[in-house]
Structure 1
């Protein structure tokens, strides 16, 4: 049976998107959540928007009550829960559409890991589950709960890395345009980049909190601790990449703002100089424009004289301002 793509039509069973059972003879496709598996490790990826999924999670004896609560919780905040037999968490990933790998929408992936059952579930398709399913399909790798957590979180970080690389490329292109004196992207586009980076930073901050919570929990299974520590370091590393891009973006925006301020100042300076040069000439023309008697330069050549006087006053103003250092 061909396994369904993440987000495609559900397979047989209550909201089952895909399921894999790991056996010594190889991996087998699971078509029914309720089929017996005799203690062999099984990974079920479920659609929480399906009412049958919720009924199965609520009634299956394979999940403890704490794991059920995490899987069915409407709380979308990232969090973790540990008890002696279960590790459960809610992590954020980007939702995807059939025609778009990066929608910019944040989705919640619920996950519960027991000794012989791994359950991941979501309301809307997320990219990490699709990556994991592709890697498991056709692979005969041995699976354990720590490795499952590693695969899922690594897929999330891979998604984040692609988005960060694209945003970093846009920032670098803007920086190159500044250096080469070419047109730079508009402020609205750079603002969109900053918002996406801030969104990623918040998601990774929440993920770091989840793994810190797991690291310090005394009930965390011993075989899970090395994986949690490794993932915590990887999450911090990706968070550092975001900080670097944010700092680079801040420098680019500062440079663009400086150039904009310089252009505004140059325009204001030019306007001020033109105003200063025109004021004496305006005063002269104002005097000669008064409809009063005994005006000077009355005669055939009065207009020429007034023009020369106005031009001379503007020239005198220019020489005065240049002598005072107003012209750069």
Structure 2
């Protein structure tokens, strides 16, 4: 039996695979976490790039040239695309996932490298699209080469983003309906989250479009890969159009909220101004009768307080009448 030291050396030679897909014969596939044999017609390895074993395996056993390794080792940043010979590598961005939540608002990078018979994908933290791809693979699709695997990966990724775009549009439409029909103010934090999500989706879509355009125009790529990229571009254009429409809808909703807030502020200021104008004569009267000087009216009679109160009320009523005559009091 293999002792612990030999088992450790054996494990170090293999990448930290999250899952691996391989197909030996027509319709016979395997999906698990073990590295498939190198002599199979097609292999797909999804690696944990936060583990040094994956980085070491890429450098020593993947057969990738240095330019492609630089793409695979890159951190989350701008999308990249490189091609050397018959191999290519690029990065796309997707939302990260947590154990408790399906999707977070953090954006991570999925690194992809393809050469004949091999597709390698890797991420540092769990990504939404990668989990959706595995769910597709568990249903047993017939993937016979790297081009079909890449098509499945990109189709699933775009479908996932399109679902988020549709949910965003529905959220904004419901918020607008609640505001217009039920006068229910949406939570400002939800609108800020929607604005951030739309900006993230827009950046992802623009970056993926640029990558697909590079692939479509690359003369060294097989025609099947160029055709796949060409077919995906209209979907990305339509999705980006929906994102821009959602951003425009969000701006209109924010403008409506700002308009209503300004209207409520003006109404409050108007009410306070009217109250101030009505109270000024009464304040003047009470101030006058509060002077400790001789000869004040109503100072000697038993009904002096009543008479002073009546004068204050009459002064307020006179002020109200003058404001109505001058048109400074609006009628509902």
Runs of at least 5 residues in structure 2 that lack an aligned partner in the other structure: 1-10
Which residue is 1:92 aligned to?
Answer: 93
Q: 1:159 to 1:43 in 2, by over 3 A?
A: same
Which residue is 2:104 aligned to?
Answer: 103
**Equivalent residues, number:** 317
Select 1:309's aligned residue among 297, 300, 311. 311
SS of the residue corresponding to residue 292 of structure 1 reads: coil
Q: Does the aligned pair in 2 maintain the 1:150–1:231 contact within 8 Å? A: no
Q: 2:198 aligned with 1:192, yes or no?
A: no
Structure 2: distance between partners of 1:279 and 1:61: 86
Q: Does the aligned pair in 2 maintain the 1:27–1:140 contact within 8 Å? A: no
Structure 2: distance between partners of 1:22 and 1:35: 10
SS of the residue corresponding to residue 275 of structure 1 reads: helix
Q: 2:15 aligned with 1:37, yes or no?
A: no
Structure 1 or 2: more helix by fraction: 2
- The alpha carbon displacement at 1:112 in A equals 0.9
* CA offset digits 1:76-118 (Å, max 9, x no partner): 3311112331121011111223332212221211111112211
Q: 2:28 aligned with 1:27, yes or no?
A: yes
- The alpha carbon displacement at 1:321 in A equals 0.7
Which residue is 1:271 aligned to?
Answer: 272
Q: Which moved more, 1:311-320 or 1:248-257?
A: 248-257
Q: TM-score, normalised by structure 2?
A: 0.86
- The alpha carbon displacement at 1:270 in A equals 0.9
Q: 1:136 to 1:305 in 2, by over 3 A?
A: closer
Higher relative contact order, chain-length normalized (CA < 8 Å, sep 6+): 1
Q: 1:74 to 1:284 in 2, by over 3 A?
A: closer
- The alpha carbon displacement at 1:15 in A equals 1.4
What root-mean-square deviation, in Å, do the aligned CA atoms of Structure 1 and Structure 2 show?
2.4
* CA offset digits 1:15-60 (Å, max 9, x no partner): 122222234432332775472325x122222221222221221112
Q: 1:63 to 1:305 in 2, by over 3 A?
A: same
Structure 2: distance between partners of 1:132 and 1:231: 17
Which residue is 2:322 aligned to?
Answer: 320
Which residue is 1:172 aligned to?
Answer: 173
Q: Which moved more, 1:67-76 or 1:41-50?
A: 67-76
Runs of at least 5 residues in structure 1 that lack an aligned partner in the other structure: 1-9
Q: Does the aligned pair in 2 maintain the 1:83–1:220 contact within 8 Å? A: no
Structure 2: distance between partners of 1:257 and 1:205: 30
Q: Which moved more, 1:178-187 or 1:79-88?
A: 178-187
Which residue is 2:5 aligned to?
Answer: none
Q: 1:177 to 1:74 in 2, by over 3 A?
A: closer
Structure 1: distance between partners of 2:166 and 2:141: 31
Which residue is 1:205 aligned to?
Answer: 206
* CA offset digits 1:193-248 (Å, max 9, x no partner): 22222222222222222223333334333322121122222222222222222222
Q: TM-score, normalised by structure 1?
A: 0.87
SS of the residue corresponding to residue 223 of structure 1 reads: helix
TM alignment of 1:24-173, pairs within 5 A: 24-29=25-30, 33=35, 35-37=37-39, 40-60=41-61, 62-74=63-75, 76-173=77-174
* CA offset digits 1:160-188 (Å, max 9, x no partner): 23333333333222212112224333212
- The alpha carbon displacement at 1:65 in A equals 3.1
Q: Does the aligned pair in 2 maintain the 1:95–1:106 contact within 8 Å? A: yes
